[in-house]
Amino acid sequence: MTKTNETHFGALPPLYKYMPNPYPDERIWRCPVCNEKTGQRTLPLLVHVDPGHLIVLKSTCRYCSACELLIVHKHDLEHQLTQVFQELDPAAIGNEYFVLGTLEKQILRQKSQRLQSLEDLRQATHDFKMAYLEARMRQTGWFPKGQEPPIVEPPPSQEWVKPKSRLLHWR
């Protein structure tokens, strides 16, 4: 048996491969791995936000059943995070975050049930099957034969950014 250096948060077996889509204007209707049509899944995502917040967000994602690939639109996720943290902790807006995995769907159905501890949360969490995949789009248009279209850099986040400090200007 080989040892691995992987650490897992969730106690449940991994379910999905994870890929964030950083392009706000591009919706992925076909799987970038196998080119099959994707469906939708509404899942509770467990997100860690520095410096130590664990948040559960109900998110509708694109899903490829053939590849078991879950595609989350980054800007939609950041919009949800911004809304939550405007009330919870405005200073955390713009901090680094990491999607740890998905929770059991029963968590969504049993709204009255509260997870009492970090261990309860860990027991209900599925980690992702592998490291993150990256979505990168190529520029469209005409290019000379043999020239590869360049990769388009994703735009920076519009909502999930640190608020600019308000400096007073004295005259």
**Residues 6 or more apart in contact with residue 5 via CB below 8 angstroms:** none
By C-alpha distance, which of 16, 86, 66 is closest to 46? 16
- Give residue 18's pLDDT: 92
Edge-to-edge strand list for the sheet holding 125-127: 17-21, 69-73, 53-64, 39-49, 97-103, 125-127
In degrees to the nearest 10, what's the CA dihedral of 39, 56, 156, 159? 110
Residue 20's pLDDT is what? Answer: 92
- pLDDT 10s per residue in the chain (171 long)? 344 445 677 778 888 999 999 998 888 889 988 999 999 999 999 999 988 898 889 999 999 999 999 999 999 999 999 999 999 899 999 999 999 999 887 766 665 455 567 888 888 888 888 766 778 888 888 888 999 888 888 888 888 888 775 445 555
Q: Which two tokens stand for residue 167?
A: 């400096």
pLDDT score recorded for residue 135:
80
Start-to-end C-alpha separation, the chain = 71
Separation CA 124–CA 133 (nearest Å): 24
Task: Output the DSSP codes for 68-131.
Answer: TEEEEEHHHHHHHHHHHHHHH-GGGTTS-EEEEEEE-THHHH-TT----SHHHHHHTEEEPSSS
Helix, strand, coil percentages for the chain (3-state, nearest 5):
15, 30, 55
Q: What pLDDT score does 13 carry?
A: 85
3-state DSSP call for residue 20?
strand
Domain boundaries of the chain, sorted by first residue: 17-140
Q: What is the pLDDT of residue 10?
A: 77
